[in-house]
């Protein structure tokens, strides 16, 4: 039986990415990265589009009044009421060739955030760990940082360099979110259609991955077995997020980036944001600790 997928927002994003749900406002936030826009829509509300003035790709909740946003210049604190941005921690701010990409909050409140070349240059990016004002580089020579997500207990982290086709798994210190072992291959996607893009892990340890170019969302068990594959109505789904106050639904962003007019005509919903019409045992995102 086919899983059904519905449209959550028909707003077309060139590069829709970084979805994150705020249970306090019952709203999903996501980005059109290359056009510097933050989008906000309550599950039963109207769309708001915020112009940020710079490329940004990920958002986390600090408290009811503030959000942390990963941008091409580093981590900014956003005032929810006014939308004002204040630079908190520069990351590669002196390098105009890179920007932020995939990021996520570890259960302890640490923030893993990735960078990449704006032209997807080989090895131009990295993955960083940020916690209570401290910043460390975890992994260098990353071409396209993606799939950053964590097990519920914080003992496992996942990430990928999309260019490699390998989804990695590494043991973590649950108290700090820092790696404590060497990364190992969790999924080898090189012989499969499409590329490993954004991922989230539910409360049962199932990893849900958006397959860029593969027109699908795939679900993997904690031991790496493919549990199910959900067909998407777009070629380039980019990142999933659990939504709803029970975190029991999945929203998925998408993109038309890289397509010419003929390709876009064949993929008319590319750039929209979708809801998977299935019930999941998801998790709400932890709050990020900036100090």
Q: In terms of DSSP bridges, do strands 111-117 and 74-79 run parallel, antiparallel, or are they unpaired?
A: unpaired
Helix, strand or coil, per DSSP, at residue 268: coil
User: Which DSSP letter does residue 210 get?
Assistant: E
153 is catalytic: no
Half-sphere CA count of 15, side-chain side, radius 13 A:
18
Q: Give the other-Cβ count within 10 Å of 157's Cβ.
A: 28
Rg over alpha carbons for the chain, rounded to the nearest Å, is 17
10 Å Cβ neighbour count for 96? Answer: 10
Q: What are the Cα distances from residue 237, in Å, to 35, 198, 234?
A: 18, 9, 6
CB environment 173-196: b (16+ within 10 A), e (fewer): ebebbbbeeebeebbebeebebbb
As given in the structure block, the two tokens for residue 20 are 């994150």
Of the candidates 102, 161, 197, 267, the residue annotated as catalytic is 197
Helices (H) and strands (E) in the chain, counts: 1, 24
How far apart (Å, rounded) are the C-alpha atoms in residues 35 and 53?
8
Rounded distance, CA 39 to CA 10, Å? Answer: 12
Q: Which residues carry out catalysis?
A: 197
């Amino acid at each position: 039986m086919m899983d059904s997928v519905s449209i959550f927002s028909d707003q077309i994003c060139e590069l829709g990415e970084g979805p994150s749900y705020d249970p306090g406002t019952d709203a999903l936030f996501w980005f059109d990265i290359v056009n510097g826009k933050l989008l906000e829509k309550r599950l039963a509300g109207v769309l708001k589009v915020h112009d940020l003035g710079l490329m940004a790709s990920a958002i986390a909740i600090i408290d009811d009044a503030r959000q942390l946003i990963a941008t091409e210049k580093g981590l900014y604190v956003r005032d929810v009421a006014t939308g004002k941005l204040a630079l908190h921690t520069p990351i590669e701010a002196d390098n105009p060739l890179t920007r932020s990409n995939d990021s996520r909050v570890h259960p302890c409140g640490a923030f893993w955030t990735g960078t990449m070349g704006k032209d997807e240059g080989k090895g131009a990016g990295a993955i960083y760990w940020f916690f209570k004002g401290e910043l460390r580089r975890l992994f260098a020579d990353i071409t396209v940082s993606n799939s950053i997500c964590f097990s519920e207990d914080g003992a496992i982290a996942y990430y990928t360099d999309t260019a490699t086709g390998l989804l990695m798994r590494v043991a973590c210190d649950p108290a700090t979110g820092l790696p404590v072992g060497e990364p190992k291959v969790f999924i080898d996607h090189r012989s499969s259609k499409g590329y490993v893009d954004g991922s989230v892990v539910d409360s049962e340890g199932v990893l849900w991955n958006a397959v860029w170019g593969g027109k699908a969302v795939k679900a993997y068990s904690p031991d790496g077995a493919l549990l199910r594959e959900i067909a998407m109505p777009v070629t380039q789904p980019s990142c999933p997020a659990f939504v709803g106050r029970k975190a029991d639904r999945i929203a998925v962003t998408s993109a038309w980036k890289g397509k010419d007019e003929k390709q876009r005509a064949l993929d008319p919903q590319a750039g929209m944001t979708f809801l998977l019409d299935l019930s999941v045992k998801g998790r709400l995102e932890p709050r990020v600790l900036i100090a």
